[in-house]
Structure formats: C-alpha cells, structure tokens
Amino acid sequence: MSTTPNIDFNSVYGPVKSWRYGRSLGVDPIGARSTCSFNCVYCQLGEIELKTSDRQVFVPTTKILQDLQAFAPWDVDVITISGSGEPTLPLNLGEIISSIKQLTHKPVAVLTNATLLNNLEVRQALCLADKVSVKLDAISQQQLKLIDRPVEGINWEYIWSGLKKFRVEYTGGLGIQTMILTPWNRETKTEYIRLMRSLLPDEIQLNTPTRPKPLKYQLEARGNHSSAADRPYKVLTFRQVSPDFISDFATEISAATNILVRHPLSHESPVS
C-alpha cells in the first residue's frame, strides 16, 4: 500500500542540470512526504518528515510510468531516481528501474545513502541501474552522527559493510559522493584515502553545500533551487569549504588512488 498523501503529486521532475550526470530527469519513488533513514544537516529538502529505515511501496510503479509519459521523448542524458528521501526504501525499486529502462531506453542512475546496502534485495535492485552514486560523508561514527544523523540502529560500520558487499556485486558505474562541510584535518583525509583504496569506486564526487536548506520540508526543492526566484520559502545557507581545499584534496586523492575525482565548484550553473 502506498503512503503517499492524496494530493496532486507528480513523481517526475526536472530536467535538472547535474554536474555529475548532465541533463537529468528526476524520478521520485518516495512521494510528497519526505522519508529517509538520514536527516542530514545540509539536506536540500529541509527537515525530513518521516525518519525510518523500514521499506514499503510509496509510489506505485504504474504511477511513475504514467508521469514519465508526459516528458516523452525524454531528451535527457540520464533518468535519476532520488527525490523526497532515500530511494532504496521503496520495495518496488527494482521494478521501477527495469520499467523505466524499458519505457525510455535511457540510462538510469540512483542516488543512495547506503544505509540499506546490507539488504540483499536492495543490492539486487540497484544492480539493475546503470550508475549508482553512494553518499559517504563520514569516516567515523562520530562524524556520521554529526552530519548525516541516521535513524536508530544504523551506524558507520553497518553502512561500510553494506557498501563493501555492493562493490563486489555491482558491475555498473559506482560513484562515491562526499559532502564536506568544514575543512578536514590530515588524519581524516588520510583515513578517507585509505577507505577509497580499499573500495576502489569508479569515481569520487566531492562537494560542499552549495544549495540552501529550507527551514521546513519543501517538495519543490527536489530540483535546482539555488536562486531566490526558484525558492519562495525561507532557507538556511551554509559556509562552504574553499574551492582550493576541494581542488587540492581531489588532486591528492587521485594521485594516491588513481581514481577519477570530480567536483562542481568550477561550474557557474546550479548543480545537483
């Protein structure tokens, strides 16, 4: 049964200009009520309304396919499953991915926070995607609690265990997205590089909070909303780490791991 409120909810939004994937059409499998296993301090959606790691069907696959029809012929580079929370929470994720690919013949990407990667069914569903971008903001439990604020029962070791399992099984393009709120010290950077050497993702995506955070949950914040005209609601803005820090750290990671490292700070356009 879907938990989506009985309102005029559109599960497809955009296209969004993404520094990771180009012109991206967003698919929201969560619904109009934000639902996530994290409540990140920088979340572009605002405060998460339902904090949970329990899986269920939120938006029927038929509803998503119906909403996608309005965007045909899908003149985008990729269709990205993200939206109003953690996209691996829906029990129908695998069906959503395979149905979107069959309908649009476009590559599908999923943005996930990795909290459910110990679940075999979740990993099997994600293996259907062409690209998966996994959030890894923390290298310790303390950092995880400060930045990502997971629901009870989820800790850093559990997340890392699931991520390692997924890396073994997944044959698509795996990206690790890391949001840096304050400059990391040498110890933190060294440990992050060690972890990336162990995991060996296809690419690393470094970022800092360029998007504001609404004071309350805003469905409209799913897409680009960097300018005041795009967001007629009150927001918090964050102090960003310097472009030099991101650029220098990216160079250091790449030199130590031979992994492609990308970041959006040189882009003039809004990013996602």
pLDDT at 2: 42
Sort strands 235-236 and 213-214 into parallel, antiparallel or unpaired: antiparallel
The DSSP code for 150 is P
Burial degree of 226 (CB within 10 A; 0-12, 13-18, 19+): middle
User: Which stretches in the chain have pLDDT values below 70?
Assistant: 1-7, 212-233, 235-236, 265-272
Contact 124, 117 (CB under 8 A): no
pLDDT at 3: 45
Tell me how far apart the alpha carbons of residues 39 and 35 are, in angstroms, rounded to a whole number.
9
Q: At what angle do helices 186-199 and 156-169 cross, to 10 degrees?
A: 30
Tell me how far apart the alpha carbons of residues 154 and 211 are, in angstroms, rounded to a whole number.
26
pLDDT at 4: 42
Query: Could you tell me which residues are beta bridge partners of residue 36?
Result: 51
Nearest to 17 by CA among 234, 225, 233: 225
Reported CATH class of domain 12-262: alpha beta
Residue 236 tokens, joined: 């918090």
> Around 173, how many Cα atoms within 13 Å sit in the side-chain half-sphere?
16
Residue 125 tokens, joined: 């569903």
Contact 12, 67 (CB under 8 A): yes
pLDDT at 231: 62
Tell me how far apart the alpha carbons of residues 212 and 215 are, in angstroms, rounded to a whole number.
9
